């Protein structure tokens, strides 16, 4: 039996397929995120999001290092390398991870409790580590494609910054440095990742794999918010969960719950 080989999508179709993922699956649609942007979260819920999201931020350089390790092309490695220093910084107390720690401290969390990881929910830990594993095990062009959630993040970041400045004024403005930096970094990174994805995903199989990789990354981000909503909900306007409303077992108390 002969195998049917599908023709690659043209540039416009491929990019449209990638963008369609964000329109339906990006985490800006999640109820937890929408509640945050309309100022409806409590200080406890905001701190829980900050400390759990930090676990994700910590692992972004590891994801990018995995892409570099798997990529045999020096010209691509040179393009991608800045992402590690963007997060880790060139020096102590620089970069995105340091900026996120400042956000945590501005919200009333101590640096020690954030770095300890004791508030990280199991669902968040599982999702983040699955993402790093994906980058380590998949072909590097697909791992690059998984980073394309940055296509949708500039608008999200500006909305998030506006929400924090308007509704969560108990967080000092100095703590919002990370969001401001990403307003410039995210469009640059998105354009770079899109160009690499289009250039190196040249078969229909790789193109479809890139779309699936981006969908997987959206699922990672969505799952993190699911874990937060389950542990720290209900959200405003959401009915409290009862034994009759969910078949999931009652979670064990988290160590050091915020």
For 104-162, write each residue's pLDDT tens digit.
999 999 999 999 999 999 999 999 999 999 999 999 999 999 999 988 876 788 899 99
Number of structural domains (the chain) is 1
Decide if 135 is inside a domain.
yes
Cα–Cα distance between 120 and 55 in angstroms, integer? Answer: 7
Decide if 24 is inside a domain.
no
pLDDT, tens only, 184-243? 888 899 999 999 999 999 999 999 999 999 999 999 999 999 999 999 987 776 654 433
Say if CB 103 and CB 52 are below 8 A apart. Answer: no
Q: What is the CATH number of the domain that holds 118?
A: 1.20.910.10
Decide if 256 is inside a domain.
no
Q: What is the pLDDT of residue 233?
A: 84
Tokens 């508030």, residue? 119
Q: How many whole angstroms from its chain centre is CA 87?
A: 13
Decide if 152 is inside a domain.
yes
Decide if 62 is inside a domain.
yes
Report which of 257, 202, 200, 223 is spatially closest to residue 128, judged by C-alpha positions.
223
Cα–Cα distance between 192 and 111 in angstroms, integer? Answer: 33
Decide if 107 is inside a domain.
yes
Assign 42 a pLDDT band (cuts: 50, 70, 90): very high
Cα–Cα distance between 230 and 233 in angstroms, integer? Answer: 6
Q: Where do the H-state alpha helices sit in 26-92?
A: 31-37, 43-70, 74-80, 82-88
DSSP class of residue 42 equals -
Decide if 126 is inside a domain.
yes
Q: What is the pLDDT of residue 124?
A: 98
Predicted TM-score of the model (pTM)? 0.89
Decide if 5 is inside a domain.
no
* Residue 59, domain extent: 42-232
Q: What is the pLDDT of residue 161?
A: 93
């Amino acid at each position: 039996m002969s195998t049917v080989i599908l023709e690659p999508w043209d540039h416009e179709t491929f990019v449209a397929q990638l963008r369609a993922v964000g329109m339906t699956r990006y985490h800006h649609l999640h109820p937890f995120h929408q509640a945050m942007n309309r100022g409806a979260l409590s200080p406890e819920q905001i701190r829980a999001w900050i400390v759990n999201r930090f676990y994700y931020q910590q692992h972004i350089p590891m994801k990018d290092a995995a892409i570099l390790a798997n990529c045999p092309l020096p010209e691509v490695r040179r393009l991608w390398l800045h992402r590690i220093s963007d997060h880790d910084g060139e020096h102590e107390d620089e970069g995105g991870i340091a900026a996120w720690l400042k956000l945590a401290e501005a919200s009333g969390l101590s640096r020690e409790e954030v770095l300890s990881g004791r508030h990280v929910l199991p669902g968040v830990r599982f999702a983040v580590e699955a993402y790093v594993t994906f980058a380590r095990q998949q072909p590097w062009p697909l791992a690059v494609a998984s980073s394309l959630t940055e296509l949708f993040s500039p608008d999200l970041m500006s909305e998030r910054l506006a929400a924090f400045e308007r509704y969560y004024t108990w967080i000092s403005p100095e703590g919002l440095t990370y969001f401001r930096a990403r307003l410039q970094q995210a469009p640059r990174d998105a354009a770079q990742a899109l160009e690499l994805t289009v250039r190196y995903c040249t078969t229909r199989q790789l193109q479809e794999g890139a779309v699936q990789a981006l969908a997987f990354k959206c699922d990672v981000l969505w799952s993190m918010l699911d874990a937060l909503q389950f542990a720290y909900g209900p959200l405003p306007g959401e009915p409290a969960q009862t034994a009759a409303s969910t078949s999931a077992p009652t979670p064990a108390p988290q160590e050091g719950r915020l």
